[in-house]
Structure 1
Amino acid sequence: MQPITNSLLAFILLAVGIIAVTLILIFLGRRRSPKNQEFFLWAHRIAGYIFAVLYLFICAFMLKKLTSSYTTLTPVNAIHAYIGITIFPLIIAKISIVRLFKQYYQRLSIYGIIIIILTYMTVTLSAGYFTLTTVGSQYTLLYDKGTPVKVNINMGHKVIQQRCSTCHSLERVYASVKTENDWRNYITRIRTKEPAILNDQEALQVLGYLVKNLGIDDTKMDVQIGMKIILGKCHRCHTIERIFTSKKTSADWIKTIELMRSFDPNLLNDSEVRQVNYYLDKVLAGKGTEKRNPLN
């Protein structure tokens, strides 16, 4: 699923949970209104069932995503995952009280409140953060002839899809990561060959999208960027599995990268090499040395 779909499901989960808790609180607080008791009780149960099913669906998808990832979780993602998992035993405890231990029925509202608080924390760490960053990341700031310009990167994405596919596949674009200067030079070369393909505004919008989504900051090393480069380029000559199952030290990986570049000098630029080597050193080199250690 796309991140926007995940976020939408998370917000729906939170909304259903809030409705379920609100209904049970109204039910417990209005015992003098017998006409409304059944309505609030059944509405709460229906909302609870929807919450449980949606929660399990999201958990199953996220578990599959976690097990297929080759990178370690960031601190925020780790906290998000642990809080999300904590909700499961609370749901089981709540269902057990309803079905088996009715003497504790009055405490159900406490479990519901705890569950909704944890759900709120989980959703805000993931969907909330994604939504805020998505809204804020629609624009980026670039410099055009020394003047700061606010650029709409969504428009840049549309221009890429409409114009770049006329000369080559879009995969060629999305498989590359470059520094801002490299992307500027790349766009300049394209406009030199085809002056009519992009006007000045479109060129800035395209540059904004490329720098924001496929840009490299040489002053910062990022394992996610390194992995993205590997997944985007290394499959051209061999399977990706060959990389992730190899047992090599950091020095071995450096030699491997240089060997690959000797076969195809255009495969990786210097910035990409640094990011790939950083990823291999931090992620795969550690795995290789651990497997080689006879004490483990």
Structure 2
Amino acid sequence: MSLFFLKSILSIVMLVFALIAMFTMFEIFGKSDKKYSIEKLKRLHKVNGIVYLLIYIFIAYFCLSFIIDTKGELSPRGTFHSIFALTIIVLLGLKISIVRIYRQFYNQVKILGLLIALITFGMVGTSGGYYLLVTKFGTEKIDRARYYKNEVSSEEVKTVIRIDEASIKKGKKLYESKCYLCHDPYSTKTIVGPGLMGILKNPSLPVSGKPAIPESIINQLRNPYRYMPSFSYLSEEEMLNIIAYLNTL
């Protein structure tokens, strides 16, 4: 089970807790004839909120770690997801402050609770929901590797692949800090992106189908195809070291 699949499942669980919170809120404030005990509903709402917050913190930690490790710009979908997530934590902070301290604004708690539940739909839909949808609940890869037989002339290959141990060692270190989270170096299985075992021994790159030559990899790092973040901040020296390591896979 990949971390992304686990995160997606947890986000669905968090959405369920948001729905439970909304239900208990409606039962407490929305009915004159109470079917359930108010005290029990309040306790359920409180416990539900604590679990929701714990799941939120875990997922947020995972997402922030991913962003820090990749150091790439967010995609439009990722940007919306982040905005939803930040909005939720702000609203949660306001709600807790009102309930605990500023009780003169207590009537606003209902609106805040409803907003949190609705925004949770958006947050989950743009991340976990999307992942589960496009992978058919984790049974398929996001990006199927597509290998095309491209004829590459010797004139196109201008970059000499380094084979010295120092370059390979530096490249491995860079790979582990920049690439490993998304690309498995020991297989062709997809984590987030395709596994890169034998990447320079194939006729073409996975997903983009471009020739499997150093120039294509450098271009991919600078101007990524599809969803991969840009690594244009890496120096040419660092890119060549990464290629040296990729050549050993």
Shorter-chain-normalised TM-score: which range? 0.5 to 0.7
**Kept in 2: contact 1:17–1:51 (CA 8 A):** yes
| Counterpart secondary structure, 1:272 | coil
Q: Greater strand share, 1 or 2?
A: 1
Coordinate RMSD, CA, aligned: 3.4
Deviation at 1:272, TM superposition (A): 2.1
Residue of structure 1 in register with 2:25 after alignment? 24
Identity %: 21
In the aligned structure 1, how far is the partner of 2:112 from the partner of 2:90?
11
**Kept in 1: contact 2:132–2:138 (CA 8 A):** no
Structure 2 counterparts to residues 1-296 of structure 1, below 5 A: 2-33=3-34, 36-135=37-136, 213-216=144-147, 237-240=168-171, 241=173, 269=203, 271-273=211-213, 274-282=215-223, 283-286=230-233, 288=235
Q: 1:286 to 1:50 in 2, by over 3 A?
A: closer
| Counterpart secondary structure, 2:120 | helix
**Kept in 2: contact 1:244–1:284 (CA 8 A):** no
**Kept in 2: contact 1:94–1:108 (CA 8 A):** yes
**Kept in 1: contact 2:22–2:117 (CA 8 A):** yes
Structure with larger RCO (C-alpha < 8 A, sep 6+)? 2
Deviation at 1:68, TM superposition (A): 0.7
In the aligned structure 1, how far is the partner of 2:77 from the partner of 2:235?
27
Residue of structure 2 in register with 1:194 after alignment? none
Deviation at 1:286, TM superposition (A): 4.9
Residue of structure 2 in register with 1:179 after alignment? none
Larger mean Cα displacement after TM superposition, 8-17 or 270-279? 270-279
Larger mean Cα displacement after TM superposition, 78-87 or 108-117? 78-87
Q: Greater helix share, 1 or 2?
A: 1
- TM-score with structure 1 setting the length: 0.54
Unaligned runs of 5+ in 1: 139-153, 155-208, 220-233, 246-265, 290-296
Deviation at 1:80, TM superposition (A): 0.9
Q: 1:107 to 1:238 in 2, by over 3 A?
A: same
Pair member with larger Rg: 1
Q: 1:275 to 1:82 in 2, by over 3 A?
A: farther
In the aligned structure 2, how far is the partner of 1:16 from the partner of 1:277?
45
Deviation at 1:269, TM superposition (A): 4.5
| Counterpart secondary structure, 2:37 | helix
**Kept in 2: contact 1:7–1:126 (CA 8 A):** yes
Deviation at 1:70, TM superposition (A): 3.8
Residue of structure 2 in register with 1:228 after alignment? none
Deviation at 1:110, TM superposition (A): 0.5
In the aligned structure 1, how far is the partner of 2:35 from the partner of 2:134?
47
Deviation at 1:75, TM superposition (A): 1.2
In the aligned structure 2, how far is the partner of 1:284 from the partner of 1:41?
49
Unaligned runs of 5+ in 2: 151-164, 178-199, 205-210, 224-229, 237-249
| Counterpart secondary structure, 1:55 | helix
